[in-house]
């Protein structure tokens, strides 16, 4: 069994999915990919403690968008790290995004994604899990 942090990726563009999966794998993360907000919410509800973070596009196929996925994930786990990705809705992040989330505007470098995810996870970790500084 791997100790890699499991990340739920919600993205309907296959090329972007592949880039994200490669970046996460290279960064030592495990990813599960879904293309719709509805499926993402089902996965979150059935695997409450499995996923440690969510990376979601804002525009998705189906009725649920990335804003909905993030909101529901925070109802399940109020501290869930969220990274939004968008090419068109960055201006809505301040009003629709959940607190303590990050927005990456497409196109972005894979390293930006891994850095943003690592920063959110490190900020979330209880002090007992952080390495000593002295």
pTM of the model: 0.90
Residue-level length of the chain: 134
Q: Which pLDDT belongs to residue 67?
A: 97
65 forms bridges with which residues in the sheet?
none
Confidence of residue 3 (pLDDT cuts 50, 70, 90): confident
* Mean pLDDT, residues 79-100 taken together: 93
Would you state the pLDDT for residue 129? 46
Q: Which residues of 30-66 are buried (b: 16+ CB within 10 A; e: fewer)?
A: bbebbbbbbbbbebbeeeeeebbbbbbbbebeeebbb
For the cut 70, the answer to whether the pLDDT of residue 89 exceeds it is yes
Query: Can you tell me the mean pLDDT for 96-122?
Result: 95
Q: Is the pLDDT confidence value at 133 over 60?
A: no
Where does residue 28 fall: left (phi above 0), alpha (psi -120 to 50 degrees), or beta otherwise? left
């Amino acid at each position: 069994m791997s100790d890699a942090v499991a990340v739920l990726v919600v993205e309907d563009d296959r090329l972007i999915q592949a880039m994200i999966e490669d970046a996460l794998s290279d960064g030592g993360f495990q990813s599960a990919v879904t293309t719709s907000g509805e499926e993402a919410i089902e996965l979150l509800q059935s695997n409450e403690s499995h996923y440690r973070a969510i990376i979601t596009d804002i525009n998705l196929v189906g009725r649920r968008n990335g804003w909905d996925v993030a909101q529901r994930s925070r109802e399940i786990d109020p501290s869930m790290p969220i990274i939004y990705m968008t090419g068109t809705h960055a201006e809505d992040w301040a009003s629709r995004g959940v607190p303590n989330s990050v927005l990456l505007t497409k196109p972005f470098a894979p390293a930006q994604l891994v850095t943003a995810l690592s920063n959110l996870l490190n900020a979330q970790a209880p002090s007992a899990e952080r390495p000593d500084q002295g």
